[in-house]
Amino acid sequence: MIKIITDTTSGLPLELARAHDIPVLPQIIIFGEETYRDDTEMDTRMFLQKLRSSPTLPKTAAPPPALYNPIFERLLAEGYRTIICLHPSSELSGTVRSALTAAQDFPGADIRVVDTRTVAAPLATVVLLADRWAKEGVDADTIIARVQQMLARQRVYFVVDTLEYLHRGGRIGGAQALLGGLLQVKPILTLRDGRVEPFEKQRTQRRALERLRELVLEGCPHSPESYLAVMHADAEATARELAADFSAQLGIPEVPIYELPPAIVTHAGPGVLAVSYFAA
């Protein structure tokens, strides 16, 4: 038997994870001297409320290795012969490193830690697919190969209200070059090889969102197999409008909307809107 596990940076709704029996590790949110798990102690709504009232910007930390140990112990005791950990890009999070450290405490176990080089909805998608394949009896090597093949086709685009959060959190990557000249432009950012990189610059927020829509309609396959998703933080109405438009234009019955978790909003900031899909 093979078990898939992930963490909250996938944005996978916890009730959905529980329904599929997928263990989800928390990220740690730090406000000054206070720390919170973002699975049981703080959700996105609570995070945004605290962000607005906090005199300092929050920080994040990867789940410590000690949080993995009881999960690994339980799964191995239940008879799982392989554990596959699907985690966010190591360029954006220390989660892969924590999982690898924890796995060292189980030298005889087949624990595989995969740096997916992505985050949020694309990560959630491959987690759900990997879980399905595992339950269908697909072997671990094939599951990981399929995940990597899918991730090579991912497309992620997002618009932030400000680059301040990415800059202060050290996750700005190649978009660093955009700092200092953004009074009159709104950048569209992307993920490239696990890093945040600039994609285009638009004059206004409205034009940036319209271009986000164009990118999806131009590039996304007209099929549920594209696993198109919309993501947001504190922008639910716009996210719903985009999802409904994509569904109608592309003939995809259901376009999921993911509320981005606190660990991502810490670095992207409130008001972020994102889209992702897998190209043909």
| Domains of the chain and CATH, by start | 2-27+62-151 (3.40.50.10170), 154-278 (3.30.1180.10)
pLDDT of residue 99: 98
Q: Return left, alpha or beta for 193; rule: phi > 0 is left, psi -120 to 50 is alpha, else beta.
A: left
Local confidence band at 41 (pLDDT 50, 70, 90 cut-offs): very high
Local confidence band at 31 (pLDDT 50, 70, 90 cut-offs): very high
CB 221 within 8 A of CB 277: yes
Local confidence band at 26 (pLDDT 50, 70, 90 cut-offs): very high
Local confidence band at 251 (pLDDT 50, 70, 90 cut-offs): very high
Local confidence band at 140 (pLDDT 50, 70, 90 cut-offs): very high
Integer Cα distance of 69 and 89 in angstroms:
22
Q: Count Cα neighbours of 161 within 13 Å in the Cβ-side half-sphere.
A: 12
pLDDT of residue 213: 96
Local confidence band at 135 (pLDDT 50, 70, 90 cut-offs): very high
User: Cα 151 from chain centroid?
Assistant: 13
Question: What's the chain's average pLDDT?
Answer: 91
CB 134 within 8 A of CB 102: no
180-199: average pLDDT: 78
Burial of 104 (0-12, 13-18, 19+ CB in 10 A): exposed
User: Cα 39 from chain centroid?
Assistant: 14
Integer Cα distance of 12 and 8 in angstroms:
7
Q: Output the CA angle 158-226-262, nearest 5 degrees.
A: 40
Two tokens, residue 221: 């396959």
123-151: average pLDDT: 98
Please say if the pLDDT value at position 166 is more than 80.
no
List of residues 6+ apart from 117 with CB closer than 8 A: 89, 91, 151, 191, 193, 194
Please say if the pLDDT value at position 250 is more than 90.
yes
Rounded to 10 deg, the angle between the 205-219 and 236-250 helix axes is 30
Integer Cα distance of 24 and 49 in angstroms:
24
3-state secondary structure of 165: helix
Local confidence band at 73 (pLDDT 50, 70, 90 cut-offs): very high
Q: Count Cα neighbours of 275 within 13 Å in the Cβ-side half-sphere.
A: 28
Residue 60: count of CB within 10 angstroms of its CB: 21
Helices (H), 119-261: 121-135, 140-151, 164-169, 205-219, 236-250
List phi, psi (to 5°) of 7: -145, 175
pTM exceeds 0.85 for this model:
yes
